[in-house]
């Protein structure tokens, strides 16, 4: 059974929505190096905070507190929602009922998920991007160095 208490997580700032994808040599798109590094480092940070948590398989409200910057407010939800689904905090990021993004004085992102277990219209669990793959036991030194560099950068 899903608890009605909010789930609160802090995560490093994701790359800009415009920097999530890169062009492949033969056409098409792939995740950028910066996005992959952030997904790895932020994914381990979320896993550390969510140990023993049952994935949200219901509708939920999501509030994201982000740093004040010139970045579009709508630029934050996509990478954060994808991350929460990829690491198993939510079963489908399409189950968001209400989304609030609040710029405030901070250096990271705070995400609060409020479960709405009695609300209908729940989407079936999304297929995991990691199905059939083995995930490394811990992030590489290179990924951790990239994440440290990302944390020091202040978006303007």
- What would the pLDDT profile of 63-120 be if each residue is shown by its tens digit? 999 999 988 888 899 999 999 999 999 999 999 999 999 999 999 999 999 999 999 9
Whether 65 and 104 have beta carbons less than 8 Å apart is answered as yes
Of 154 and 59, which is predicted with more confidence? 59
Report how far residue 28's alpha carbon sits from residue 21's, in angstroms, rounded to the nearest whole number: 10
Say if 2 falls within a structural domain.
no
pLDDT for the residue 126: 85
pLDDT at 15: 92
Question: Per the domain annotation, does 51 fall within a domain?
Answer: yes
Residue 96 lies in a domain: yes
Residue 122's H or E segment, with its range, is none
Per-residue burial over 2-35, b if 16 or more Cβ lie within 10 Å, else e, is: eeeeebebebebbbbbeebeeeeeeeeeeebebb
23 inside domain: no
Bridge-based pairing state of the strands 109-116 and 59-67: antiparallel
Structural domain of residue 128, as residue ranges?
A: 7-15+28-152
CATH of the domain at 92: 3.30.1330.70
Considering the domain boundaries, does residue 22 fall inside one? Answer: no
Domain count, the chain: 1
Nearest to 101 by CA among 77, 82, 85, 79: 77
CA distance 20 to 39: 10
In a domain, 21, yes or no: no
**CB contact at 8 A, 57 and 7:** no
Tens-digit pLDDT profile for residues 37-46:
999 999 999 9
Question: Which tokens go with 38?
Answer: 């952030």
Question: What are the phi and psi torsion angles at 11 (to 5°)?
Answer: -140, 155
Is residue 69 packed enough to be buried (19+ CB in 10 Å), middle (13-18) or exposed (0-12)?
Answer: middle
Strands 21-23 and 29-31: antiparallel
Q: Say how far residue 12 (Cα) sits from the centre of its chain.
A: 9
Asked whether residue 119 is domain-assigned, the answer is yes
């Amino acid at each position: 059974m899903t608890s009605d208490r909010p789930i609160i997580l802090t995560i490093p700032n994701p790359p800009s929505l415009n920097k999530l994808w890169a062009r492949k040599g033969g056409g098409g798109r792939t995740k950028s190096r910066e996005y992959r590094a952030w997904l790895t480092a932020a994914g381990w940070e979320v896993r550390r905070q969510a140990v023993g948590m049952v994935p949200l398989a219901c509708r939920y409200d999501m509030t994201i507190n982000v740093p004040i910057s010139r970045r579009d407010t709508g630029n934050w939800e996509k990478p954060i929602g994808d991350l929460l689904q990829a690491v198993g905090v939510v079963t489908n990021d399409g189950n968001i009922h209400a989304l609030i993004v609040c710029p405030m004085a901070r250096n990271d992102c705070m995400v609060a998920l409020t479960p709405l277990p009695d609300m209908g219209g729940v989407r079936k669990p999304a297929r995991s991007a990691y199905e059939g793959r083995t995930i490394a036991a811990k992030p590489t030194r290179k990924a951790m160095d990239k994440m440290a560099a990302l944390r020091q950068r202040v978006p303007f």
